[in-house]
Amino acid sequence: MACLLVSTVRTHAFALLGPFAPWMQATNGVIQPGDIGGPMDIGSGYRWNVPVVTYGFDKSFLDYFGTNGVAAIQSAIQIINDLPPASSLVLTNYPFNTQSFNNTAQVQGLSDLKSQTLTILLEQLGLTHPTRNIFVIKQWSSAFAPANYPSLYGISANSFLNYVIWPDWFIPDFIVMRNFDPQTFSASQYINGNLYDSLIEYGYYYYVYSYAADSFAYGNFAVADNNSSASLGAGGFFSGLTYDDVGGLCYLLSTNTVQYETLLPGISGIGANSNSFVNGAWRPGVDKITFVPQPVDSLSGSFLPTTNQFTDTCITNGNIIQQQVQRVITQPDFLFSVADTGRGDVNTPLLWRTGTTNWINNASANGNTNGEGPGVIQPPIQIVFNKLGLQCVSFGRFNEDENVGSAELPWGTFDDSTNTPITYPIPQTGTNQMTVRMWLERGNYPTLTATSFEWKPTSVIGSQFIFQTTTNMQTWVNLFTVTNDGTVCNYLNNNPASPSRFYRLMPQ
């Protein structure tokens, strides 16, 4: 298999997240489903410049996940809060791998709520997938076309998938490296101690694929890699952050990382700075970020304003100054919710979250005119977990009877103990409207089309329904049974073989 080898002695790396630049496109593999931003160059990262951020849960989250779900989110937050200040952080205290598996949760098809949250928190703190971004296609070249290269492993240029090698001089005009060593900040091909090689794959578009050079080496994936090519999968969980995750946060928050920034809206001076304070200035990192809960009114359940006072350090006229400022926060910086996030997307996501479009780009002020960064992350941020329930799939092209395979509920809380995994949603009572969504796929890539159809009956919680199909409106075949438990059932129906077919959802 052809690959690019670059001489390096680095053993770790992290990738930085920021708003999409014009050259970042789906056609070169930089933008992939679910991405909210692209990989930034070193020195162009985005970060928070306040030491305290708040979080909260809305009613939809509390109704769906309950107190166990709140505890799972708080356990992910606590991992961030337990990090020492960047100025005193020792990277060697953190392991190369924190991934484990719970066999019971794997059999049940559960996704760990805490681990998914931990990945999203890293993203919203300025980190993205390191493995995906070791090498990135920045500019198209006809040399990428496989017809210009001999076939590899017997794969012809007309095959569905081809592998392409590129010459060294493609870097950095056509290929850029966006994975950086936390000690030297130089580009690196290592992730948590493992060397990675890369090659270009193409099927319907071109993208760079990175893989461990040692096929027997364990992946040592960073937590920030989750939901990409290194997804945890059912039953997988993280016990904490890896060396590279912590190295990336250390770089962003370090007092040695100085960049020109303005403070977040709503910050004002206090004390001697009450009438005036320095806003736009060169600033070091805040050294540490702490998450605290947004106060909640015990009667109404609404969020209450809170005021955070802190010492802001900046450099003006060549002098380091410290000024007392305060930030009034009326709504949580991080709000956790639950909703049906799969509407309009056949690849039903586990969650949805706020993007990077409101992040503040200070490139020009940092002497990087028209650059990608650096910049400041700006709230509010909403993280919405999908009400994803039973997942079913059938491939009619292979079986006229539309045999359906299924998986169980996706959300759970578990660890490496023998305790039974906690599953969600929490038990409900009363009546509500359930959703069964069928995605009908017709054709083949790249002209595949997907159309959704929905059944939304209202029934008592716990009621069961049978999803049926027929070709003649007389003989109905049972495909699967679904229970009204407050989740959304998705059925992926790929290329049914019959020229005409009918479907219905019937109470059992």
Q: What is the pLDDT of residues 123-163, one digit of tens each?
A: 999 999 999 999 998 987 766 665 554 443 333 333 334 45
Return d(Cα 491, Cα 205) in angstroms, integer.
Answer: 27
Return d(Cα 392, Cα 394) in angstroms, integer.
Answer: 7
- Regions of the chain with pLDDT less than 50: 1-10, 149-162
Backbone angles phi, psi at 249, to 5 degrees: -65, -40
Query: Roughly how many angstroms between the first and final C-alpha of the chain, as a whole number?
Result: 54
Return the pLDDT at 207: 75
> Amino acid identity of 262?
T
- Cα 431 to the chain's mean position, in Å? 33
Return d(Cα 117, Cα 109) in angstroms, integer.
Answer: 18
Closest of 348, 441, 345, 353 to residue 387, by C-alpha: 348
Contact 232, 238 (CB under 8 A): yes
Tokens representing 64 are 């769906």
Bridge partner list, 450: 441
Return d(Cα 261, Cα 120) in angstroms, integer.
Answer: 24
Q: How many helices (H) and strands (E) does the chain have?
A: 4, 37
Contact 218, 240 (CB under 8 A): no
Contact 104, 414 (CB under 8 A): yes
- Which are the contacts of 356, defined by CB distance < 8 A and separation ≥ 6? 17, 18, 19, 20, 36, 37, 46
Looking at residue 263, the DSSP 8-state letter turns out to be P
Return d(Cα 3, Cα 167) in angstroms, integer.
Answer: 10
Tokens representing 107 are 């059999």
Contact 259, 46 (CB under 8 A): no
Return the pLDDT at 408: 64
Return d(Cα 148, Cα 153) in angstroms, integer.
Answer: 16
Q: Would you tell me how many other CB atoms lie within 10 Å of the CB of residue 272?
A: 10
Closest of 203, 153, 128 to residue 446, by C-alpha: 203
- Specify the 3-state DSSP secondary structure of 163: strand
Contact 85, 288 (CB under 8 A): yes
